[in-house]
Amino acid sequence: MTNMQRAGTAGCVLARELIHGIPNINILVLEASGPNAHSNGLISLPCTWFQAFQLYDHDWGYVTQEQKMKSHVNPIKEAAVKNGVPYPRGKAKQYNDWAAQGPEYKIWDWDHCLEAFKALENNLRENPDEEFKQFHGFNSLHHVQDFEVYDILSGLVDVAKNLGIPYNDDFNVYEWRRKRCSLADCYLRDALKKVEFHPGAEPNGFRKVVAVDIRSYTHVLEIIWDEENKKENIAIGVRYFCNGTVHEAFIAPKGEVIICSGAINSPQILMLSGVGPKENLEANNIKVRKQLPVGRNLLDHPNCLFAAKSTPEKIHHWSSGSEVGIIHKANVEGKIPCKKDFFDENPDIQIIGIIISLLKLSREIIKQPPLSTVYNIKEIGINDEFGQWITNGDDLSDEDWEKLVFEKSNTMFHPSGTAKMAPESKGGVVNHRL
């Protein structure tokens, strides 16, 4: 097993782009997780993602306070290596709404961001047509591949087509030769290759400059501010915890501290550094340096699980992971065998559904051949709290469905928005330059 070092999604891309874009730059990456995530086979295989994200030793273990709808937030330490690996980019309008916030935000419009996405991607589709080429890059580091449609999945696709659901052959992207291509695999690995040698005082006449230095198992505590320049809140370094001791790291004169610790921990570091809502900072005896709505505006994906069952022998030959999905309004993915079944040669099939309209649509799909015939899939079923099948939904009124969705929904792994990019007058935490 390699001792591959890791970092977050944005951190890996930034490290590589900065090291290639700025001559003689030195980068220190401080990363809370350890280097060996890939030694766990569940993490490196995309088809085991549902299991991988239940590995709690790779998880911050965060949960929300009690909500009206039952929910939990579960940002995992290494989202970059444990995500589901489709890469939908959202709608053009979402980017254009950012850009509309002012002339300086123009760089965030769809056209600019699409070019940035393409610049990251090495899409492996053979013979892409012109339309596909408009949306994908083919020369970069992040390997991206279409998922394979076969067996029950092709049955599902056919039924959906017959029901008039438009087929999208570019729902994006799945895996890289059946192994996850995380941003650490491609971007961080590439950043680490760039080691430069410069003339120096060493006996051999050269001083080795290690351009990117990654420190794993390192927890950033707070930003260190330039106390002599109090009015401007200029960051000059960070304080971090590593090997049982608190350390400090300072930037070079024109350097920058870049915080990209995810949607939960970036606000935490900012708030510990005195940037955030005044009342929260004061309640925790933190000196207020800048009052901003840090941590507000949390957005996440709703998720609601229901199950459909099949006769095991009809599906065991293909089922090795989350390969069946009904995608509805870009909000839902996948079928998952339960943990026990995953290694079973005769697994059950379950389909994840979300929101009432999807549940109804899913029921329609499942009633159709070949799913109902060849694969013998029964209708979506509702489990009780002990996992027992209690109803197939036939007897449920709309009110019952709504109640069930409220009871069974939670949020799922895509927290964002907590350091909103907008002018301060519109609740922004960071501006167009982030």
Ligand X SMILES: Cc1cc2nc3c(=O)[nH]c(=O)nc-3n(C[C@H](O)[C@H](O)[C@H](O)COP(=O)(O)OP(=O)(O)OC[C@H]3O[C@@H](n4cnc5c(N)ncnc54)[C@H](O)[C@@H]3O)c2cc1C
Q: Which residues are annotated as part of the binding site for FAD?
A: 220
Q: Is residue 37 close enough to count as binding ligand X by CB under 6 A?
A: no
Q: Is residue 265 close enough to count as binding ligand X by CB under 6 A?
A: yes
Give Cα 280 distance to the centre of its chain. 28
For the bound state, the minimum distance from the C-beta of residue 311 to ligand X, rounded and expressed in Å, comes to: 30
The site that binds ligand X (CB under 6 A) totals a number of residues, namely 31
Q: Is residue 82 close enough to count as binding ligand X by CB under 6 A?
A: yes
Q: Which of residues 5-24 bind ligand X (CB under 6 A)?
A: 7-11
Residue from the set 19, 48, 71, 77 that interacts with ligand X by CB under 6 A: 77
Q: Is residue 269 close enough to count as binding ligand X by CB under 6 A?
A: yes
Which whole-number Å values give the CA distances from 264 to 108, 297, 330, 394, in the listed order? Answer: 23, 12, 23, 41
Rounded CA separation 99/101 (Å) = 5
For the bound state, the minimum distance from the C-beta of residue 13 to ligand X, rounded and expressed in Å, comes to: 8
E strand intervals along 210-287: 212-215, 219-225, 235-242, 245-250, 275-276
Q: Is residue 261 close enough to count as binding ligand X by CB under 6 A?
A: yes
The region that residue 421 occupies, defined by phi over 0 for left and psi between -120 and 50 for alpha, beta otherwise, is beta
Nearer to ligand X by C-beta: 260 or 332? 260
Q: Is residue 86 close enough to count as binding ligand X by CB under 6 A?
A: yes
For the bound state, the minimum distance from the C-beta of residue 327 to ligand X, rounded and expressed in Å, comes to: 12
Q: Is residue 32 close enough to count as binding ligand X by CB under 6 A?
A: yes
Pairing of strands 389-391, 290-291: unpaired
Residues making up the chain, counted from first to last: 434
Nearer to ligand X by C-beta: 53 or 225? 53
- Using the structure block, give the residue that is written with the tokens 């799922």: 412
Q: Is residue 354 close enough to count as binding ligand X by CB under 6 A?
A: no
The helix, strand and coil proportions of the chain, stated in percent and rounded to the nearest 5, come to: 35, 20, 50
- Using the structure block, give the residue that is written with the tokens 């030694």: 39
Strand, helix or coil for residue 214 = strand
Concatenating the DSSP letter of every residue in 80-112 gives HHHS--------HHHHHHHHTT-GGGGGGSHHH
Q: Interacting stretch for ligand X, rule CB under 6 A, among 17-25, 73-81, 223-231, 399-407?
A: 73-81
Residue from the set 43, 44, 53, 380 that interacts with ligand X by CB under 6 A: 53
Residue from the set 19, 28, 43, 85 that interacts with ligand X by CB under 6 A: 85
Q: Is residue 136 close enough to count as binding ligand X by CB under 6 A?
A: no
Q: Is residue 401 close enough to count as binding ligand X by CB under 6 A?
A: no
- Given the rule CB under 6 A, which residues bind ligand X? 7-11, 30-33, 53, 76-80, 82-87, 218-220, 260-262, 265, 269, 413-414
